[in-house]
Amino acid sequence: MTFVKVPNLDYKLFFSIYPLWRPTLKSCIDVPLLLQPLVDDNGLDIYLSDSTNIIDRCCTQFPLLSESNTAADFVRVLYEIIATDKSMQTNFILQMKIYELIYGVALYLNNIDIVQDVYIQISNQISNWDTKIFNYWYGDKDTTLSKLLEYEANKRRIVKNVDHNAYDPKVIKLPACKFLEHHETDR
């Protein structure tokens, strides 16, 4: 959870995911790949002082916090966010952050089917995205697509960076979340 101070009010609560696969810890925590506000049943933002059951609300709104997640559950929830969150639907940069998250997790877990699906999703949509804005954030569209196809090199880089960043003293103290394998969830 990320707490963001709102002027003249309180702290607004966000569920956030930061990748550990970037080259340095600073670049990992610079900008989250997912930042979703915690909202009440009416869709209004929840502030720290407003809620006594923040943990329950987080678990309800963000099933990613469940103790029994598989990688497939994680990907399904992220695709649902892209499909249902109005701010995502109108902002391809936010979509790309989610795709980057799915791609990175899938590569780390060696799930090439999901990696290929992310590539297909991006390649089907990229021509509709503003080129100047895309270039600012990600560089040339064709180069971005071709880099996504470098599965083995990307996987080696991601695994190396995660292994390195996971042992940083700032990270090692944090609670960890791991995906269950399919056979473990069937029990």
Determine phi and psi for 27, rounding to 5 degrees. -70, -25
180: how many CB neighbours lie within 10 A of its CB?
16
Contact 16, 2 (CB under 8 A): yes
With 90 as the cut, is the pLDDT of residue 133 above it?
A: yes
**pLDDT for the residue numbered 186:** 33
Report the C-alpha gap between 27 and 161 in whole angstroms.
11
Rounded to the nearest integer, the mean pLDDT of the chain is 84
11: how many CB neighbours lie within 10 A of its CB?
16
**pLDDT for the residue numbered 51:** 63
What is the rounded average pLDDT of the residues 77-105?
A: 91
**pLDDT for the residue numbered 88:** 86
pLDDT band at 179 (very low <50, low <70, confident <90, very high): low
